[in-house]
Amino acid sequence: MRYFTLITMRLFKSRVIILLLLMSVWFGRTPEVFAAEITVTTDRNPVSIDESFRIIFSASDSPDDDPDFSPLEQDFDILSQSSNSNSSWINGKTTRTIQWTVMVMAKQAGNLTIPSIKFGKDTSQSTYIQVTQDAANKNVNADEDIFLDVEAVPQTPYVQSQILYTLRLYTRIDIAQARINEPELSDAVIEKLGEDSSFNTQVNGVSYTVSERKYAIFPQKSGSMTIKPLTLTAEVLASGRPSFNGFFSPQMTKTKRVESKAITLNVKPVPAEFTGKHWLSAEKLHLKQEWSGDIQQMKVGEPLTRTLTLLAQGTTVGKLPELNTAKTDDQLKAYPDQPVLQEQKKSEGIIAFREEKIALIPSKSGDYTLPAIEIPWFNTKTQSMEIAKIPETTITAASVPGTSTITPAPQSKNEVAAAAATALHNAPQVSINIWLWVSIGMAFGWLTTLIYFLTKRPARTPVKPDSRDDGQQIKLKVVVAQLKKACSDNNALTAKDSLIAWGRQTFNVSNLGAVADCCDARLRDEIIQLNQALYGKDAVEWQGKKLFQAFTENKARQSVVPSKENGLEPLYRL
């Protein structure tokens, strides 16, 4: 018994030692495997040598220790620093973001490196910033306590190309409140970019606080155009001493009004060297395709999803062309999903995104060739035409073992829609058998409406309202007002009725699908989403803000007649 006890204790000690060794190895590797990723960004780039700017360190997890910002002092003066954290709960997952913000000013001009910063055993990424020797406000007259400065880049753009319009408010006194109007330019689309930023700078040796706001402007016609001056009305705190009972009285203020300069643009027409069918200008453009499976091992009757993505910087989403335009083989059925359209408004301009998903279902074994996709575009940085291209793609379909390669019997519209929807949502693939037909027979009815909207039909010619018919114009204004209120209240049913009433008066059509066909791509997509919210299987909460925004832009674009000089299409094209 004693011998057995000794053996047991020795085995137990051996296991404990092994466990401790494994734990030491594991915990020794933990900082390397689970190191916090810390990214670095700046609020502006480039900056002038006499301007302060912010360096922002962001992490999605708590780093090993507090940061040591002393390496920054080699090239920068640290003015202040702060930190904050945000947590959110989305789809059952907790997301946390921690940020450290350091306000600095460069000691010298040039391409300066923002070095890696240690957070205990974790380190941040390194990056760079361009610091210019010339002052950004060299044309500013600093004789006032408060003044405005505006600039537009470039001032000789191409038509429908992006112009970055920057407004800066310089102050060296306290302001109680201020109001400023938005930039105005006829025949142009104007979008505000991101949030306002602030920094400190010096003008002729005088320190100012600068508030900066940016806009993207897209002129819709060529020729000379003038951006009107902006006017600021501010309540400035009076510098005089308060009266005897001023301690209990509100502080004295006076109203001050300042005005910016006007900026004249020389907008150039489409260059002669651009030979594309549709004019598209951007600073950067990227086109790619992805597949949900192996295109060399497709199965007859089983869907495969092709995803086409177009990403462009310096243009709007309405200018991005349709990607899936080529017809496929009769034995290869294609079912496109509704395109995904998104815009990001960043300080450097607008980034537009278009994604199209197409379910491809071969009905016969063999090779199928998809034609190349080419998107001609004009690079505003290099001032030259380029072509984004996806080369010709060949896919191969094979018969499913135990089944015939004969073309299957025609399916009903609901059955085809169900099969396409299954592929586009990456549902598990199944063999063709009786259970597939049973499932297709119980397909969701609302997909029929989606296929109806996505089916290409000849566009109806809008019925131009008689400008002399005042009663007609009044009715249109009433309908538009009703639509605006319905969208504001997120009332989908009233919005549908208002759109049908508008379509009946404007295009002489009387159903939602026909109205969508008469509108541009952006408004058409919003009408389709409204229809899905009303009649889709899964009830979703409808938000009307985007629909009315698209409706307003569509209406404004209808009133702009393209010049005969270049036959240019509107900014948002069907």
DSSP 429-484: P--SSHHHHHHHHT--THHHHHHHHHS--PPPPP-PPPTT-HHHHHHHHHHHHHHH
Please name which of 59, 63, 54, 42 lies closest in space to residue 98, comparing C-alpha atoms. Answer: 59
pLDDT of residue 327: 81
Between 61 and 393, the more confident residue is 393
For residue 468, pLDDT over 80 is answered with no
pLDDT of residue 406: 41
pLDDT of residue 190: 93
| Dihedral sign of CA atoms 275, 278, 281, 284 in order | negative
Band (459; pLDDT cuts 50, 70, 90): very low
For residue 164, pLDDT over 80 is answered with yes
pLDDT of residue 463: 45
Band (473; pLDDT cuts 50, 70, 90): confident
Mean of pLDDT values over 344-372:
92
Rounded alpha-carbon distances, angstroms, from residue 490 to 130, 516, 540: 46, 19, 12
Between 271 and 122, the more confident residue is 271
pLDDT of residue 118: 87
pLDDT of residue 530: 86
Between 193 and 8, the more confident residue is 193
Between 416 and 392, the more confident residue is 392
Cα 260 to Cα 211: distance, rounded to the nearest angstrom:
14
Instruction: Tell me the domain boundaries of the chain.
Output: 38-132, 146-267, 281-432, 470-558
For the domain covering 38-132, report its CATH number.
Answer: 2.60.40
DSSP state letter for 181: P
Cα 264 to Cα 150: distance, rounded to the nearest angstrom:
12
Cα 382 to Cα 192: distance, rounded to the nearest angstrom:
26
For residue 11, pLDDT over 70 is answered with no
User: Percent of the chain beyond pLDDT 70?
Assistant: 72
CATH architecture of 146-267: Sandwich (2.60)
Q: Which residue, chain included where needed, has tokens 């453009």?
A: 285
Average of per-residue pLDDT values in the chain: 78
Out of 183-187, 374-378, 480-484, 491-495, the most confident range is 374-378
Between 574 and 277, the more confident residue is 277
For residue 433, pLDDT over 50 is answered with no
pLDDT of residue 216: 95
Specify which residues 102 forms β-bridges with: 55, 81
For residue 539, pLDDT over 80 is answered with no
pLDDT of residue 536: 66
Band (251; pLDDT cuts 50, 70, 90): low
Q: How many Cβ atoms from other residues are within 10 Å of residue 447's Cβ?
A: 20
Helix (H) or strand (E) holding 534: helix 521-535
Contacting residues for 139 by C-beta, under 8 A, at least 6 apart: 149
Mean of pLDDT values over 487-499:
90
For residue 435, pLDDT over 80 is answered with no
Band (526; pLDDT cuts 50, 70, 90): confident
For residue 7, pLDDT over 50 is answered with no
Cα 363 to Cα 417: distance, rounded to the nearest angstrom:
15
For residue 462, pLDDT over 80 is answered with no
Chain segment 372-415, per-residue pLDDT in tens: 999 999 999 999 999 999 999 999 999 876 555 444 444 444 44
Cα 549 to Cα 557: distance, rounded to the nearest angstrom:
12
For residue 538, pLDDT over 90 is answered with no
The yes-or-no answer to whether 38-132 and 146-267 have a common fold is yes
Cα 568 to Cα 140: distance, rounded to the nearest angstrom:
38
Cα 209 to Cα 147: distance, rounded to the nearest angstrom:
11
pLDDT of residue 407: 45
Band (9; pLDDT cuts 50, 70, 90): low
What's the pTM?
0.58
pLDDT of residue 555: 61
Q: Which of 46-60, 108-122, 189-203, 377-391 has the lowest mean pLDDT?
A: 46-60
> b/e for 387-422, b at 16 or more Cβ within 10 A?
ebebeeeebebebbeeeebeeeeebeebbbbbbbbb
For residue 558, pLDDT over 50 is answered with yes
- Integer-rounded Cα radius of gyration of the chain: 31
pLDDT of residue 427: 38
For residue 19, pLDDT over 80 is answered with no
pLDDT of residue 357: 93
Q: How far is CA 428 from the centre of its chain?
A: 31
Specify which residues 170 forms β-bridges with: 147, 210
For residue 289, pLDDT over 50 is answered with yes
Band (455; pLDDT cuts 50, 70, 90): low
Q: Residue 555 has which token pair? A: 């209406």
Q: Which of 56-65, 432-441, 552-561 has the lowest mean pLDDT?
A: 432-441
Q: Which of 23-27, 337-341, 545-549 has the lowest mean pLDDT?
A: 23-27
pLDDT of residue 205: 82
